[in-house]
Amino acid sequence: MTILGFGLLGYSSRAVAAEETAILAGGCFWCVESDYDHVPGVISTTSGYIGGETPNPTYKAVSAGGTGYIEAVKIVFDPDKTSYSNILDVFWRSVDPTDDGGQFCDRGESYKTAIFATTDAQKETAQSSKAALNESGVLKKPIVTEIRDAPKFYPAEEYHQDYYNKNPIRYKFYRFSCGRDAKIVELWGDQAHQGILDH
């Protein structure tokens, strides 16, 4: 029993070590979740809220504004299959990081872009990634996406999770009518949606 227990414990430790978490805000969390579910190496995605102070935020309160919360997605990935740098590369090219007023048709504080670093190493990587992108001149305007330390993340209501799978027609209509993909292609050209499969 002792040998079996040790083996299970060892396996469990390795499994935990093989996962890393990124938290990104890119406007509508339905869209960010859908995008990252199609990135190789991503294990799971969870839509939620982050950045405010009042506990247990709701969609109604957050979308009304004034709470400090932002719609975001918690992305669990396998660092043996993809890197945090790659997660960020996908992020930049699936949003408009030059827009300080929201994303596409969704306006206001809760739809701003942001990177919430869960470790000091992630913060350094994100800062370097942002600086390199700014210096590259690929985008005509400066990047306004904030890089912040991650406070507590609250999962959104269950009906928001995997919304694009639960309500595919409504989701596709929303994404098209919001102009998200068209704007990303206009902004990024051939680099649009880089790293996202089946887009």
Helix (H) or strand (E) holding 149: strand 146-149
Contacts of 65 (CB under 8 A, 6+ apart): 108, 109, 110
The dihedrals phi and psi of 143, each to the nearest 5 degrees, come to -80, 130
Beta bridge partners of 72: 48
Task: Give the CA radius of gyration of the chain.
Answer: 17
Helix, strand or coil, per DSSP, at residue 133? helix
CA 169 to chain CA centroid, nearest Å: 22
Contacts of 51 (CB under 8 A, 6+ apart): 25, 68, 69, 70, 72, 114, 116, 148, 151
Q: How far apart are CA 33 and CA 31, in angstroms?
A: 5
31 in catalytic set: no
Beta bridge partners of 76: 21, 44
Catalytic residue among 28, 31, 105, 178: 28
Residue 147's alpha-carbon distances to 24, 118, 122, 130, in angstroms, are 10, 11, 10, 9
Annotated catalytic residues are 28
